[in-house]
Amino acid sequence: MIIETFKNLAKRNTEVDWIVDGLLSSGGYTYLVGAPKAGKSMLCIQLCDAIQNGKTFLGMKCKKRNCLYVQTDTGRLEWQEQIRRLAPNGVAWTMYALTNNFLDNPEEVENVKNVIWGTYPESDSPRSASQVLKHIPFDLVVFDVLNKMTSHDLNAKAGMSHVLSRLEYMTVQGVAEGQESKHYILIHHPSKSTTRGVNAGSMLTLGTDSEGSRGLLVLEGSKVLGKKEVLIERNKETGAWRLSGEVMDVNGPESIKDIEEALGIKIS
């Protein structure tokens, strides 16, 4: 617990630690939503590759940080092919072949937490996490995809509370000023029957045209930034996203509606 006057809080010299300038900051989480096959996973592969190497991502500067991509949405061969096409020389890390609905398995949750924070047991075995990862913690974690991570009803408040409590357990430690948290991205493609979603943190929405070749990435819900939109286009051969227009900071829905009409997609 921290208690102080408004005046003292206002005078604190606090700067936002951006991982991706104007998009992702340290701590907290981002909810990435879009239709199945919209290219969310491919976008996050590119994001992790850019951050791990300190490169730009869709025109935005990235700080060099350690990234972990937790893949539960596809089999090994398909996942391997996506990596080959988008980041064949990438040095970001990925974890896959987890147990089904791993958030419902306390032992698996503990294993993932230990990998994120580098707190797994010391070992001399060449293939152990201790020797491979060297107990270096991760700064950004992508969880792909929500509906494969739990058997709980995601339309029920209790189901989403279960998900968020497990994710918080894995990515946050310490209390008050000693608290440290890892930024995580939670990927989800809601079904038509899904009415409940994460109602906190920042939300990224990826919408595409009917051919899936052009898209609009929209950031909403950020307590630091206003709404941000990025026009992107897709390489037909690799599926990689690239910047196709200017990044716009907006305060109202007018520009979103104009772009929706131009692309024939629905975001708002």
Sorted by where each begins, the domain ranges of the chain are: 18-202
CA distance linking residue 123 with residue 130, whole number of Å: 6
Q: Does domain 18-202 have CATH number 3.40.50.300?
A: yes
Contact 212, 39 (CB under 8 A): yes
pLDDT in tens, 166-181: 999 999 999 888 899 9
pLDDT of amino acid 15? 82
pLDDT in tens, 212-265: 999 999 998 776 677 889 999 999 899 999 998 544 444 444 455 555 555 555
Compare 267 and 164 and report the one with higher pLDDT: 164
CA distance linking residue 128 with residue 14, whole number of Å: 39
pLDDT of amino acid 256? 52
pLDDT of amino acid 189? 85
Average pLDDT over residues 92-108: 97
By the 10 Å C-beta count (0-12 exposed, 13-18 middle, 19+ buried), 41 is classed as buried
Its pTM stands at: 0.86
From 55-59, 131-135, 138-142, 176-180, the region with the lowest mean pLDDT = 176-180
pLDDT of amino acid 244? 85
